[in-house]
């Protein structure tokens, strides 16, 4: 596909959207599917089919984030075709209400009304007049929903509006929107199900990775192209040399989003500098004496590999799943750019088998991209070849560790090996291999499109850009958010998360970040800025982005026990400290939890934790003690209170 063809398809897609009188988007990511969005989509489609005169365009779209209120559905009413240009210009201002947004990204506002559209160079003025976000819709609501659209006057401003309180909030913030939302809506039949677009959950977001998810049909390439998809890849292939791309990524300050935070540009340049290598037949199969001579893994010459780590194993994290289910092409595009930059021609996506929908959509996306010449041979008419294959994980947390992941792709037990050598130099079948996380790759196209400076202007000094977090646990709004690095935990938990859910009412006690490798940060420290270094200084880690909010019913010794139990089950068994040490720590935590602990047990607990950190072979064991050490640090009193009386005489 040439850039011109790409632009033509994108324009057609935008035009088609614009021609519809109303556009309806139904979330088809797992969160909403698990509460019935598939049925809602079917019902709405049925209604639309019954009323062709209404000219409705109904799409399944990507994740909109607010999973706890699913199924989520947005409805957008287009202006009559002739008014398009004026509508677009008149609508350019509302995003001013978005908090602290850099100038370069006006459309990154979390406001769903503006997010549902774009003013990109190729945007061809598809900007909506207004969009409403409905929550917790059921198939039974479909006729009502369509009826409200039918009843709406020609002017889109009166299509519908949020409840009165919302209008007040919104108008206080942004007078330009009041006209669209002022009309009395008390009699809107679905008033109770309309989401307030001004809620901090949406308002505070800055979307790069999740950008336009609500606009992208995950199963259609055209839909991604209309969101500037593959523009960056073709730009790279035709106008940039690999070192320039690596330089762009380096200057952007992007760091690995899988948790480690290693500078992405540096990793890319290491792989780029490494010489390609003929895959070693015997490598890693040294134990297999039966291997016949000359049976190379890939017999066709020296190679480098690009691997996307989508083995999202942290319990409580579902960012990668959502990205893959919502915009698989965005990840593929990032991988292809990376491959071009480092000189690789083959890629693997290592996905958890527990994510069948993500796998299915990725498979479909790879097929579409290959068909359109965006993957495969001579991509975009250039001489760059890049082939991508999916590899399924099989239920082993440790395979998120990069050397274990490599072992798994090589068809072996997913056991890590000591590093160095690092995969960048000695990776898959001995070849230089670039391994990045899903979210890291999903940032790449935006950086190429909008420049390193734009990206670097987001976030903090050392942690640039945004981060996607999965909010879960005892918080009102659970789901996915994307925020600039450096935002405080209190903004995320209390404002965006909306505090404790109504039914509970207990005070929020702590937030757990980084899963079994992370730690618990007490509510008293919620002014902490969320970036790699700050979280580490507090004994936690950024991790892949799971945030579990706990209220005062959570017993921290039990929380530590929970994570240690996880590590015991997920330890691969290769190294002694992790295999046996985690079990010993678990036994101590159980003993303390039963009220049988002695002061000496706390000492031993700490000693074993430090042994795990210092002497384990891989990251799993080295970080397994973090949940214990961090709860010991901030909630030591809970441990001490559980100790049995002093030693008997």
Which residues, numbered 487-516, are part of the site for other proteins (CB under 8 A)?
Answer: 512, 515
Position among 321, 329, 464, 467 found at the interface with other proteins (CB under 8 A): 321
Return the residues of window 331-370 that contact other proteins according to CB under 8 A: 352-358, 360
Contact call for residue 250 and other proteins (CB under 8 A): no
Please state, in angstroms and rounded to a whole number, the distance separating the CA atoms of residues 171 and 162. Answer: 12
Return the residues of window 384-443 that contact other proteins according to CB under 8 A: 391-398, 408-415, 417-418, 420, 429
Contact call for residue 193 and other proteins (CB under 8 A): no
Between 417 and 633, whose beta carbon lies closer to other proteins?
417
Minimum Å gap between C-beta 627 and other proteins is 10
Q: Which residues of 392-415 are buried (b: 16+ CB within 10 A; e: fewer)?
A: bbeebbbbbbbbbbbbbbbeeebb
Tokens of 503: 């039914």
x-or-dash string of contact with other proteins, 533-572, rule CB under 8 A? -------------x-x-x---x-------xx--x-xxxxx
Between 88 and 608, whose beta carbon lies closer to other proteins?
608
Total residues contacting other proteins by CB under 8 A comes to 104
Between 412 and 633, whose beta carbon lies closer to other proteins?
412
Between 267 and 361, whose beta carbon lies closer to other proteins?
361
Minimum Å gap between C-beta 335 and other proteins is 19
Contacts of 28 (CB under 8 A, 6+ apart): 37, 38, 41, 60, 61, 62, 218, 325
Please state, in angstroms and rounded to a whole number, the distance separating the CA atoms of residues 42 and 71. Answer: 13
Express the helix, strand and coil content of the chain in percent, nearest 5 each: 45, 15, 40
Position among 123, 473, 498, 539 found at the interface with other proteins (CB under 8 A): 473
Contact call for residue 601 and other proteins (CB under 8 A): no
Contact call for residue 61 and other proteins (CB under 8 A): no
Please state, in angstroms and rounded to a whole number, the distance separating the CA atoms of residues 628 and 635. Answer: 10
Between 412 and 525, whose beta carbon lies closer to other proteins?
412
Position among 108, 297, 333, 538 found at the interface with other proteins (CB under 8 A): 297
Contact call for residue 607 and other proteins (CB under 8 A): yes
Minimum Å gap between C-beta 355 and other proteins is 6
The partner residues of 26 in beta bridges, in order of sequence, read: 60, 73
**Nearest in space to 72 (alpha carbons), one of 118, 117, 127, 34:** 34
C-alpha atoms less than 13 angstroms from C-alpha of 373 in its C-beta half-sphere = 14
C-alpha atoms less than 13 angstroms from C-alpha of 271 in its C-beta half-sphere = 31
Tokens of 296: 């190379």
Minimum Å gap between C-beta 587 and other proteins is 7
Segment contacting other proteins by CB under 8 A, of 10-18, 30-38, 81-89, 186-194: 30-38
Other beta carbons within 10 Å of 177:
23
Contact call for residue 138 and other proteins (CB under 8 A): no
Return the residues of window 574-593 that contact other proteins according to CB under 8 A: 574-577, 579-584, 587
Please state, in angstroms and rounded to a whole number, the distance separating the CA atoms of residues 8 and 14. Answer: 10
* Torsion of the alpha carbons at 484, 488, 489 and 491, rounded to the nearest 10: -80
Segment contacting other proteins by CB under 8 A, of 106-114, 288-296, 484-492, 633-641: 288-296
Please state, in angstroms and rounded to a whole number, the distance separating the CA atoms of residues 382 and 2. Answer: 9
């Amino acid at each position: 596909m040439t850039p011109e063809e790409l632009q033509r398809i994108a324009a057609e897609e935008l035009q088609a959207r614009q021609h519809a009188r109303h556009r309806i988007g139904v979330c088809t990511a797992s969160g909403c599917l698990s509460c019935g969005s598939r049925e809602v989509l079917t019902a709405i489609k049925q209604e639309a089919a019954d009323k062709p005169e209404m000219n409705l365009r109904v799409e399944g779209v990507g994740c909109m984030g607010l999973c706890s209120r699913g199924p989520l559905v947005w409805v957008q009413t287009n202006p009559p075709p002739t008014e398009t240009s004026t509508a677009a210009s008149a609508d350019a201002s509302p995003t001013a209400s978005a908090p602290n947004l850099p100038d370069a990204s006006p459309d990154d506002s979390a406001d769903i009304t503006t997010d549902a559209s774009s003013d990109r160079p190729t945007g061809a003025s598809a900007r909506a007049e207004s969009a409403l976000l409905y929550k917790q819709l059921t198939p039974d609501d479909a006729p009502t929903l369509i009826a409200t659209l039918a009843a709406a006057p020609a002017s889109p401003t009166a299509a519908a509006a949020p409840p009165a309180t919302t209008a007040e909030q919104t108008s206080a913030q942004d007078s330009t929107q009041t006209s669209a939302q002022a009309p009395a809506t008390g009699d809107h039949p679905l008033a109770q199900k309309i989401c307030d677009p001004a809620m901090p959950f949406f308002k505070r977001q800055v979307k790069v990775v999740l950008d336009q998810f609500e606009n992208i049909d995950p199963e259609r390439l055209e839909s991604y192209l209309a969101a500037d998809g593959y523009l960056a890849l073709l730009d790279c292939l035709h106008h940039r040399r690999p070192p320039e791309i690596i330089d762009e990524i380096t200057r952007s300050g992007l760091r690995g989003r899988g948790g480690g935070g290693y500078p992405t540009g540096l990793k890319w340049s290491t792989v780029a500098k490494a010489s390609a290598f003929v895959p070693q037949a015997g490598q890693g199969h040294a134990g297999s004496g039966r291997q016949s001579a000359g049976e190379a893994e890939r017999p066709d010459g020296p190679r480098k590999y690009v691997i996307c780590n989508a083995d999202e194993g942290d319990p409580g994290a579902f960012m990668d799943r959502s990205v893959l289910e919502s915009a698989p092409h965005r990840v593929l595009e990032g991988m292809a750019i990376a491959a071009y930059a480092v000189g690789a021609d083959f890629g693997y996506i290592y996905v958890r088998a527990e994510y069948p929908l993500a796998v299915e959509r990725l498979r479909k996306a790879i097929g579409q991209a290959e068909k359109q010449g965006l993957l495969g041979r001579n991509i975009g008419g250039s001489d760059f070849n890049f082939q991508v294959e999916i590899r399924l994980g099989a239920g082993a947390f440790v395979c998120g560790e990069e050397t274990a992941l490599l072992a798994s792709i090589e068809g072996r037990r997913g056991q890590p090996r000591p590093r160095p050598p690092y995969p960048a130099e000695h990776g898959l079948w001995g070849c230089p291999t670039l391994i990045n996380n899903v979210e890291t790759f999903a940032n790449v196209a935006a950086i190429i499109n909008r420049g390193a400076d734009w990206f670097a202007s987001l976030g903090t000094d050392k942690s640039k850009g945004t981060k996607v977090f999965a909010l879960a646990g005892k918080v009102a709004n659970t789901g996915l958010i994307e925020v600039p690095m450096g935002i405080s935990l209190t903004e995320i938990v209390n404002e965006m998360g909306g505090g404790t859910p109504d039914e509970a009412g207990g005070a929020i006690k702590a937030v757990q970040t980084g899963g079994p490798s992370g730690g618990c940060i007490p509510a008293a420290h919620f002014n902490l800025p969320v970036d790699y270094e700050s979280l580490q200084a507090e004994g936690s880690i950024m991790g892949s982005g799971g945030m579990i909010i706990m209220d005062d019913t959570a017993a921290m010794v039990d929380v530590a026990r929970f994570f240690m139990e996880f590590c015991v089950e997920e330890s691969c068994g290769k190294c002694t400290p992790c295999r046996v040490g985690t079990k010993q720590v678990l036994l101590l935590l159980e003993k303390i939890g039963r009220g049988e602990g002695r002061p000496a047990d706390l000492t031993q607990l700490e000693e074993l934790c430090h042994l795990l950190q210092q002497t384990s072979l891989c990251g799993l064991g080295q970080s397994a003690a973090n949940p214990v050490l961090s709860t010991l640090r901030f909630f030591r009193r809970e441990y001490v209170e559980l100790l049995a009386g002093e030693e008997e005489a």
